[in-house]
Amino acid sequence: MRDLAAELDERRARGLYRSRRILEGVQKPVQVVDGRKVVAFCSNDYLGLAGHAKVVAAFRHAVGTYGVGAGAAHLVNGHTRAHHQLEEELAAFTNRERALLFSTGYMANMGVAQALAGRGDHVLEDRLNHASLIDAGLVCGARFQRYRHATGVDLAQRLATLEATGERLVLTDGVFSMDGDLAPLPELSRIAAAHHAWLMVDDAHGLGVLGATGAGSLEHFGLDAGEVPILMGTLGKAFGTAGAFVAGSEALIETLIQSARTYVYTTAMPAALAEATRASLQIVRTDGRRREKLAALVARFREGAGQIGLRLMESPTPIQPVLVGDSARAVRMSEHLLEQGMLVPAIRPPTVPEGTARLRVTLSAAHTKPQVDRLLEALEAAQGAEAPA
C-alpha cells in the first residue's frame, strides 16, 4: 500500500499542500475567515450577487413553495416549474433554442463529452483547459489530444491529420480560469467548421462579465449558435448561486436529456436555487453598472500593479494573476498578504504548470476602489519582503 502520510509530508515540503479555510457568514469582500477579518480577493462572485438581497429573498420565498430538496432526478419527478422557467430564460439569455440544467459545471462537461464522443471519436482540447474539461475528454473514451494554448494553427494541424471517420469534438474554456485570458474563439470556430468538428465553449468565467449584456465570451466576440454549437456555463460565479447549464440546439439538448449520464442519473438541483438564479439572471441582464464598475476596478488594479513592478498576465477579465514562479515564494507572499488582512491564495502545480506559481487575484463589483488600493499596497510590501537581501 502507498504510504499516504509520507506523500503528504513530501507535498508540504514542496510547498504544494492545500488547506481549507472556514468562512463565517455571507460571501462578500469583507469576510471573517478562520476567525480573522480579511478583505477577500479570491472569490469568483464577480458581480457581488451571492449575497444580493433580491437573490436571497427569491431563494427564501421558493423554499416556502418547493421545500429544500428536489427529491429525485429531472427525469423522475424532480423537474419543477422553477427549473423549466430557468432553462427557458437561460436559453433566451444566450440566444439559443434550448438550455439544460446540470448540478455542477464538472457534471455538465462530463455529460456532454460522454454523450457526443466515445471509442473511435476524437477530442481535442486547449492545453490549459479547466480540469473538468480535461477529465471529460479523458473519461469519455475517445482518442484525446491537447493543442498548444490558444493556438489555432496547432489545432488545425492536429485536426487535419485525423482520419475521416468518427466524431470530432473541440473543447475550450472561454476565459481561462488561472490565466484570465480569452480563447481565440473566432479562429477556433472557423477551424472547427472547416474540419466538421463540434466546438464547445466552457464559459464559466465569461458569463455575466463579458459582452454588452453579460452573455459572455461569445457575445464579446460576436459569435452565434451556428458558430459555437455548444455552450456551457456555470451559475456559481457571476450569477452568485450554484449549478450549471448547457445551451444549444433542440436536437443537442434532447440528446443530452436522453443520454448524458451525469444528467440522467443524479438528483436535480433544489428548485429554490433555480428561483434564486432566475433573480440573479434578471440582475445580470438589466444592471450593466456592475460590469462597468468591475471593468474600472480591473483597470485600476492593472495600472497600479504596473507602477509597482508586479508581473501580471495578459488578462482583461476579473482574474488577475500575479506571476511569482516559485511555489514556496508564492505561499510566503500569500501569508504576508494575510498578515495585512488580504486573502489572496497561492496557486501552485499541478493546477498551473511548473515554474508558474502565482497569486490569483480576483476582483468583484462588490469591491471598492480603496480596497483595491490597499491590496496594491499590501502586494508591494509582500514583494519587498521577498526581495533578495
Residues labelled as active-site residues: 177, 205, 237
Ordered alpha helix ranges (H), the chain: 4-13, 53-66, 81-93, 105-116, 131-139, 152-160, 185-194, 217-221, 250-259, 261-264, 271-286, 288-307, 327-339, 369-385
In this structure, are residues 302 and 108 in contact, taking their beta carbons and an 8 Å threshold?
no
In this structure, are residues 188 and 170 in contact, taking their beta carbons and an 8 Å threshold?
yes
CA distance 21 to 30: 15
In this structure, are residues 186 and 221 in contact, taking their beta carbons and an 8 Å threshold?
yes
3-class secondary-structure state, position 151: coil
Buried b (16+ CB within 10 A) or exposed e, 167-195: ebbbbbbbbbbbbbbbbbbebbbebbeeb
> Which is it for strands 244-248 and 98-102: parallel, antiparallel or unpaired?
antiparallel
CA neighbours within 13 Å on the CB side: how many for 217? 29
CA distance 70 to 67: 8
CA distance 51 to 73: 28
Q: Residue 180: in which H helix or E strand, if any?
A: none
CA distance 181 to 205: 10
DSSP state of 119: T
CA distance 142 to 121: 5
Furthest-apart CA atoms within the chain: distance in Å = 66
CA distance 292 to 56: 23
Return the residue matching grid coordinates 470556430.
Answer: 189
